[in-house]
Amino acid sequence: MGNYFQPEIETMQRDDIKKHQLDKLRWQVKRVYENVPMYKERMDDAGVKPKDIKSLSDISKLPFTTKQDLRDYYPFQLLAVHKRDIVRIHASSGTTGKQVVAGYTRKDLEMWSDAFARMLVATGGDTKSIVQVAYGYGLFTGGLGAHQGAERLGAMVVPISSGNTERQIRFMCDLGSTHLCCTPSYAMYLGETVKEMGVKNQLKLKAGIFGAEPWTEEMRKKIEEALGIKAYDIYGLTEIMGPGVAYECEYQNGMHICEDMVIAEIIDPDTGETLPEGSFGELVLTTIAKEGQPMMRYRTRDLCQLNYEPCACGRTHVRMMKPAGRTDDMLIIRGVNVFPSQIEEVLLRNSIEVSPNYQIVVDRVNNTDTFDINVELSPRFTGDVEAEKHKLQVQLRSALGIGAKVHLLRPKSIERSEGKAKRVIDNRNLRD
């Protein structure tokens, strides 16, 4: 059984969770109907009123919200409170189109801090922990989300932000940081630099809390080996609450969703139909406690399953399995669905020969998609380059169901990311 930050909430019985969720859902639906014109219009169009929400299953009567809605009603038209009650703005880290903006009240920030503090405790954190926050600070939710959660717990926070990697590692050694919060790709980069500096035996790190981008189990193992830690997955979205929506405990069998704050559903991504418990599909989240900018049935585009079985740690909140991909990260190349995580898995199986730092380049020539993958050779590689290229191309074709042209590059020739890794360059849209 694990330690808890808020045991009365984290170990609630399922019937009590459902009662709490229904009470909060009815409260939230009434609020958005009365205060957010978009929701009122859509609910009226669907023929549903707040009084029609009588059971949790009635959530399926409500319309979906999408990322495009946040762009269309940018910046403040989805607020359910007066603008003067918003004390902080966050925005997505996306680089195309309008930014996705989310407004938080003071109570929203307190709730979010509680969620991240729960996660820190689930990873072995306590008031003696030293939490090094190497997520970027600013509009991105990662830095401030981790920071306020660590402060809520009463841990020491090192707000170093991203970048300046050697300084990061010196601080880890000098301050005795126990928890590292950053993206998994940056954790890999830190691990490479720790090895180069020869300071692994000086680290006091126990746990890493990594999110904001997809990563595989193979990548988890590599990070754990490089930094001598246990690596934990965390899930969050700017639109919902930032990091802390869901988190792994010591058993690492799915991420516990904070069900007192959100309701999770799985739908068929093509039809929008709600699927039975245990089904694989698209994750949909409804914020039932958020004041500032509530999201009703928000389509995350993440593809996963939910597990309602009680966890060995004693937490009763539903667990989401690691997303298998995102419907909007998926590439369709010559009619075949390709997820970057599939490529990463192949590369990590060949980690003696190649680095997991890679980049996908997709283009269109003579009306046909081209598919190239740039991969760095490992500094330890001493074999035949052409033979290695052929081996990877065979393995990737088997994993993806489509051929790719592999380019093997010298070590460290692909730019390292200190935030979210840019894995895909899709030039096809430039030619359409």
pLDDT of residue 95: 43
245 and 339 fall within a common domain: no
Of 43-52, 70-79, 332-341, 395-404, the one with minimum mean pLDDT is 332-341
344 and 318 fall within a common domain: no
303 and 322 fall within a common domain: yes
**pLDDT (mean) for 209-226:** 90
Cα–Cα dist 268/285, whole Å: 14
In three-state secondary structure terms, 185 is helix
pLDDT at 171 over 90: yes
**Tell me, what CATH number does 210's domain have?**
3.40.50.12780
Query: What backbone phi and psi angles, to 5 degrees, belong to 66?
Result: -130, 170
Q: Which of 298, 327, 356 represents a domain boundary (last residue)?
A: 327
What percentage of the chain carries pLDDT values higher than 70? 96
3-state helix, strand, coil in the chain (%, to 5): 35, 25, 40
45 and 178 fall within a common domain: yes
Q: How confident is the model at residue 352 (pLDDT cuts 50, 70, 90)?
A: confident
pLDDT of residue 251: 96
pTM of the model: 0.83
- Give the mean pLDDT of the chain: 92
278 and 410 fall within a common domain: no
pLDDT of residue 337: 80
Q: Which of 327, 355, 386 represents a domain boundary (last residue)?
A: 327
12 and 70 fall within a common domain: yes
**Tell me, what CATH number does 377's domain have?**
3.30.300.30
Which residues span the domain enclosing 283? 1-327
Cα–Cα dist 205/229, whole Å: 6
368 and 281 fall within a common domain: no
pLDDT digits (tens, 9 = 90+) for 340-350: 888 888 998 89
pLDDT digits (tens, 9 = 90+) for 227-243: 999 999 999 999 999 99
Q: How far apart are the first and last CA of the chain?
A: 56
Q: Where are the alpha helices (DSSP H) in 363-404?
A: 385-400
Look at the chain and report how many structural domains it folds into. 2
Query: What backbone phi and psi angles, to 5 degrees, belong to 236?
Result: -165, 165
pLDDT digits (tens, 9 = 90+) for 81-112: 999 999 999 998 554 456 789 999 999 999 99
Residue with tokens 């720790």: 194
Asked if residue 75 has a cis previous peptide bond (ω within 30° of 0), the answer is: yes
99 and 195 fall within a common domain: yes
Tokens of 77: 């038209």
pLDDT digits (tens, 9 = 90+) for 385-415: 999 999 999 999 999 989 999 999 998 888 8
268 and 414 fall within a common domain: no
269 and 377 fall within a common domain: no
Instruction: Of 106, 113, 44, give the one whose Cα is nearest residue 81.
Output: 106
Question: Long-range contacts made by residues 74-79, C-beta under 8 angstroms, separation at least 24?
Answer: 74/98, 74/99, 74/100, 74/101, 75/101, 76/103, 77/36, 77/37, 77/38, 78/36, 78/38, 78/293, 79/35, 79/36, 79/103, 79/292, 79/293
Q: Which of 271, 306, 327 represents a domain boundary (last residue)?
A: 327
